[in-house]
């Protein structure tokens, strides 16, 4: 397994912990659809949350959420719709969020930011 994959998996574990602390139930991780992978699917009593996780160790390439390009947003929208259709969840309210994680290895600290409704303009 390469370093980016390890970093991504570590970030997803941190994101799951953050979501659980907020009271969400985790419905799935690394869920594959014909349009790509959904990192995390969480649920609250009244809605589903589809989460894209981005993790960075350096600010050299910008903030983690800056890696969620317009093309990535389109893929996410299609993946979410595919999942909702396949699972019979088209009538269930939902949103698509991002969790941006910055790891400061020198301080052994992670900054976790939950950004809601990333597909809304």
Q: pTM of this prediction?
A: 0.88
DSSP-derived pairing of the beta strands 47-56 and 94-104: parallel
Residues 65-80 have pLDDT tens digits of 777 888 999 999 999 9
17: tokens are 């912990």
| CA distance linking residue 99 with residue 52, whole number of Å | 6
User: Domain map of the chain by residue range?
Assistant: 3-115
Average pLDDT, the chain: 89
Residue 21 CB coordination number (10 Å): 9
Domain 3-115: state its class: alpha beta
- 43 strand-pairing partners: 25, 48
């Amino acid at each position: 397994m390469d370093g980016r994959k390890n970093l991504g998996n570590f970030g997803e574990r941190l994101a799951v912990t953050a979501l659980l602390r907020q009271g969400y139930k985790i419905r799935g991780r690394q869920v594959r659809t014909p349009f790509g992978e959904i990192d995390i699917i969480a649920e609250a009593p009244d809605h589903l949350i589809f989460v894209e996780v981005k993790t960075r160790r350096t600010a050299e390439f910008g903030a983690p959420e800056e890696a969620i390009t317009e093309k990535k947003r389109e893929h996410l929208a299609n993946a979410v719709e595919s999942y909702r259709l396949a699972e019979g969840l088209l009538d269930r309210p939902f949103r698509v969020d991002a969790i941006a994680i910055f790891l400061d290895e020198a301080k052994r600290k992670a900054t976790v930011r939950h950004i809601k409704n990333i597909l809304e303009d």
